[in-house]
Amino acid sequence: MNHADEPTPRTRPSLHYFRPYRQTIIGFFVVAAMVGLLIGAVQLFLRAGG
Amino acid sequence: MHGLSWIDIGMMIGYFVLITIIGVASAKRVSTQGDFYVGGRRFGKFLTIMMSFGVGTSNTHPILVSGAVYKFGMSGIWYSWLYMLFMPAQWILEPLIRRLRIYTTADFFDLRYSKGLGPFFSISAMFNIGIMIATMLIGMGQVVEGITAGELRSTTVIPIAAVVVVIYGTAGGLLAAALTDVLQGVLVIALSFMLLPPMFHAVGGLEGLHAALPAEQFSLAMPSGGGNPAETIGVFAIFMLFINGVMGNLIEPQSQTKQSARDEWTLRLGVQIGTLMKRICTVAWALVGLCAIVIWPDLDDPESCFGLATGTYLPNGFSGLMIAAMMAAAMSTCDALMVCGSAIFSRNLYARFIRTSASDRHYLYVARVVGVLLVAAGLIIAFKLGTVIDAVEMWWKLTAFIGPTLLLGMFFRRGNSWGAWACMVTSATVWALTEYNLIVPAEKLRWDTVWYQAALYLPAGVAAYFIVSLITPPEEKSKLDRFFARLNTPVGEEAALVATGLEPRPEEIMAWQPKRKDA
């Protein structure tokens, strides 16, 4: 294993926490949408027949 | 014959035999502590999904949710759903916990803090686990009693379940727990939905429900104000329960199970899908509660409605399946708790303070013995719970007091052990002042609710963390560098961590590289 190939890790809180960035950002919104969809779907289902 | 048919009894025995065989078979793949505690970190997506679903779902959840909906209307679903709001944040935070390359939640406190926080968390977690196991066993016993109309007593069912958990759990560790979670997941999903068709038929479908119940019973957000605040779940209550839940959820000992995922992507996907499956099942449990309001409008104990529904609406021959499913739901959580507790004792207490340099095989043996003792302790507590109920509530609250120290510790480098102690002591003090009505008059009922209490003790604790951390010396620099380097380094880039020279045992860090072979 060539250690020199790896970037040196930061030793403070940083945006590197969220690597890989694309996966983190897109996934965040997809999950949020799924949660919203479930809540909305259940509320719509409950209103049906009312 | 306890009013059960031979088919029912056969199903139950078959279930016990099957999971015991699974445990013994998985024991062949357990040769190190890593295999026992975190399944060798080889779990693929399917096992991670089922593990997440199984650990997060206990047999008390259907009872609690249906009971809350019976009492409050559909907004009672938030008793379980409040964690769902945490899912997007989970997407971001889960990989960070995985990146710390730790076995137990107690390892976090050893890695980030000093001043006795690690041992304190370890001991409190051990208590917590013993009590949680007891709670699971009691809930299971009550459900089985409810389904069999009291003919199959909890005093019979609880010891049997405990013995089976000990056999397969101590043999196969977390891998056995995950494999039995697969079985449990299938059973729980089946039981969640098999009640709905006959109950909907009984109430005349959704139209029948709307005709029988007021419109607010169908709202997911009950309007606050008016009436007893302790019985009103409004937006404020949901928000505070969510924050309180997040804090408690972060430091749950069973977070250890997430270290078993092969890599960050597997963990993310597995946790999200497993959690979502539970949230969908929650809808079914809530609808059982809603139908129960119409079918049995005068129940003294709302939480009895789920057992009543299963006893009334399941077709003959399914009782054994239902009992097996309810027992599976409890046992799958118990086994994971047992493995987590044994890991915490073996790694964070025994290997640190009692025998510091023993072989891996020795620590594995200790972990298995402690696993047996933990379930035995849970069993004893289960039969004596009436006398320790206050302790139960206290330990549950304690988790929310400790939670902020974990979250803040990951994002605030200047935070230190004194700040963490101040956070916990301040939160506990503020909670006690409100709990025993020392700040406000006793007639102000709202201060008896956890959401109003949390609105005081959480900000107070966080403020204490920052203030005390800033006026006391920081943690040792090399300790902090090592901690934050791990957080900044995704799983799979362990070589970069070793290259920093901050890791005292490079071979241990390299062992955290993702395994190719799936379990």
The gap between the terminal CA atoms of chain A, to the nearest Å, is: 65
Q: Among A22, A24, A35, which would you mutate to test the B interface (most chain B Cβ atoms within 10 Å of its Cβ)?
A: A35
The CA distance from B385 to the nearest CA of chain A, in Å, is 36
Q: Which pLDDT score is estimated for B229?
A: 53
Do you know the residue count of chain A? 50
Per-residue confidence (pLDDT) for residue B90, from 0 to 100 = 87
A14 CA: distance to closest CA in chain B (Å): 7
Tokens of B60: 């008390």
- Comparing CB atoms, the residue among A3, A49, A50 nearest residue B499 is A3
pLDDT confidence tier of residue B478, bands split at 50, 70 and 90: very high
Q: What is the DSSP string of A17-31?
A: GG-SHHHHHHHHHHH
Give just the sign of the alpha carbon dihedral B154, B157, B158, B159.
Answer: positive
For the stretch B410-455, pLDDT in tens is: 999 999 999 999 999 999 898 888 877 666 655 555 566 777 788 8
Residue B327's alpha-carbon distances to B123, B282, B333, in angstroms, are 28, 18, 10
- Give the model's confidence band at B513: pLDDT under 50 very low, under 70 low, under 90 confident, else very high: confident
How far does B45 lie from chain A, in Å, by closest CA?
16
pLDDT of residue B17: 87
β-bridge mates for residue B158, sequence order: none
Task: Using the Cα atoms of residue B296, residue B324, residue B384 and residue B371 in order, give the sign of their dihedral.
Answer: negative
* Interface contact flag, A3 B91, Cβ < 8 Å: no
CA distance B233 to B308: 25
Contacts of A7 in chain B (CB under 8 A): 493, 496
Global pTM reads 0.86
In chain B, the residue whose alpha carbon lies closest to the alpha carbon of A30 is B88
Question: What SS3 state is found at B195?
Answer: coil
Q: What is the ipTM of this complex?
A: 0.89
DSSP B121: H
- Write down the number of H helices and E strands in chain A: 1, 0
For residues B184 and B189, give the distance between their C-alpha atoms in angstroms, rounded to a whole number.
Answer: 9
Beta bridge partners of B43: B261
Number of neighbouring beta carbons within 10 Å of residue B369? 14
Helical H segments across B100-234, by residue range: 105-112, 117-147, 154-194, 196-203, 205-212
In contact, B461 and B404? CB cutoff 8 Å: yes
Separation of alpha carbons B389 and B352, rounded Å = 31
Burial of B227 (0-12, 13-18, 19+ CB in 10 A): exposed
State chain B's mean pLDDT as an integer: 84
B413:A12 CB<8 A = yes
Per-residue pLDDT band at B225 (split at 50, 70, 90): very low
What CA–CA distance (Å, rounded) separates B302 from B76? 12
Instruction: Provide mean pLDDT across the span B378-404.
Output: 69
* A-chain residues near B493 (CB < 8 A): 6-7, 9
Express each pLDDT in B282-336 by its tens digit.
999 999 999 999 999 988 888 888 878 887 887 766 777 777 877 877 887 888 8
Indicate yes or no: CB of B495 within 8 angstroms of CB of A1. yes
Nearest CA in chain B to A45: B206
Selection from B317, B392, B295 nearest residue B60 by Cα: B392
The predicted pLDDT at position B169 comes to 86
Query: From chain A, which residues contact B within 8 Å (Cβ)?
Result: 1-14, 16-20, 23-24, 27-29, 31-32, 34-35, 38-39, 42-43, 45-50
- Select the residue of A12, A34, A38 nearest B484 (Cβ to Cβ): A12
* Other beta carbons within 10 Å of B306: 28
B485–A contact, CB cutoff 8 A: yes
- Is some CB atom of chain A closer than 8 A to the CB atom of B410? yes
Q: Which residues of chain A does B265 touch, with a Cβ-Cβ cutoff of 8 Å? A: 23
Number of alpha carbons in the 13 Å side-chain half-sphere of residue B255: 27
Range name among A11-15, B120-124, B219-223, B224-228 with the lowest pLDDT average: B224-228
The shortest C-alpha distance from A31 to chain B (Å) reads 5
In the stretch 16-75 of chain B, residues with CB closer than 8 A to chain A read: 74
Residues B302 and B70: beta-carbon distance below 8 Å: yes
Cα–Cα nearest to B394, from B347, B428, B444: B428
Instruction: Give the tens place of pLDDT for each residue, B444-471.
Output: 555 667 777 888 889 999 999 999 999 9
Q: Which two tokens stand for residue B175?
A: 């891998």
What pLDDT is recorded for position B1? Answer: 39
If one compares B178 and B224, the residue with the highest pLDDT of the two is: B178
End-to-end CA distance of chain B: 40
Query: Which token pair is B90?
Result: 């989970």
User: Is the per-residue pLDDT at B380 higher than 60?
Assistant: yes
Provide the shortest C-alpha distance from residue A37 to chain B (in Å).
11
Determine the average pLDDT of the residues in B167-193.
Answer: 83
* Cα–Cα distance for residue pair A19/B269, rounded to 1 Å: 16
pLDDT digits (tens, 9 = 90+) for B45-55: 998 998 888 87
Q: What is the DSSP letter of B151?
A: S
CB proximity B495 to A under 8 Å: yes
Task: State which residue of chain A sits closest to B411, comparing Cα positions.
Answer: A13
